[in-house]
Structure 1
Amino acid sequence: MVPPGTIVPKSPGVAVLASFFLPGLGSMISGNGGIGALILVLYMASWVLTLVLVGFLGVFGFWVWGMVQGYSDAVAWNRRHGLIS
């Protein structure tokens, strides 16, 4: 158990892994819920657009963006709190 008031670092690796399975989740667990939700909504919209073959680029792009953003958010959160990741 972590004592109250202790700052626990966010893991960039866990953020990337979470976004691998659900785009945007890594950003959400790294404290950037707005961007994470945006990535998830755009990813799901791209799946709908695959019905007309337009969405395949979006599906891949938002999936990759989710992983990169999750990593960046975790590292940024750690830096803001004086932690090294």
Structure 2
Amino acid sequence: MHYPMQVQSRNPVLYALASALIAGLGTMLGGRVGRGILILCTVAFFGIAMLIPFIGWLLFPVWLAAWAFSIYDGYATARSWNTRHGIIS
């Protein structure tokens, strides 16, 4: 007897929340580990660079944009995974 393979859908909001907690986590959970690590390292780099006196506050918008991109990318990764597997989300 043959049973069709079933795949579970990925919840885009959950992946976005994961990336809001830890930058790049939603992307890594979606299977794009290298990209997720790159996002995590980028956010961490700018977070540490903000500790530099005087220059740090200038980097705050860049850090915030990188973190926002992390959240968006986690969401988009889950939607992309669902689309590739024929799941409408």
Deviations 1:14-34 (A, max 9, x none): 011001111100111111111
The 8 Å contact of residues 48 and 55 in structure 1, kept in 2 or not, is answered as no
Provide TM-score, normalisation by structure 2. Answer: 0.84
Give the match for residue 76 of structure 1: 80
Unaligned runs of 5+ in 1: none
Give the match for residue 24 of structure 2: 24
Per mean C-alpha deviation after superposition, the further-off stretch among 57-66 and 18-27 is 57-66
User: Percent of counterpart pairs with the same letter?
Assistant: 34
Per mean C-alpha deviation after superposition, the further-off stretch among 63-72 and 51-60 is 51-60
- How well do the aligned residues superpose, as a CA RMSD in angstroms? 1.7
For residues 13 and 50 of structure 2, what CA distance do their matches in structure 1 show? 29
Unaligned runs of 5+ in 2: none
For residues 58 and 18 of structure 1, what CA distance do their matches in structure 2 show? 20
What secondary structure, in the 3-state scheme, does the structure 1 residue paired with 2:63 have?
helix
> Does the alignment pair 1:35 with 2:50?
no
CA apart distance, 1:83: 0.6
Per mean C-alpha deviation after superposition, the further-off stretch among 46-55 and 22-31 is 46-55
Give the match for residue 11 of structure 2: 11
* Matched residue type, 2:85: H
Per mean C-alpha deviation after superposition, the further-off stretch among 47-56 and 32-41 is 47-56
The 8 Å contact of residues 50 and 56 in structure 1, kept in 2 or not, is answered as yes
Give the match for residue 51 of structure 1: 51
Runs (4+) of structure 1 moved beyond 2 Å? none
* Matched residue type, 2:48: V
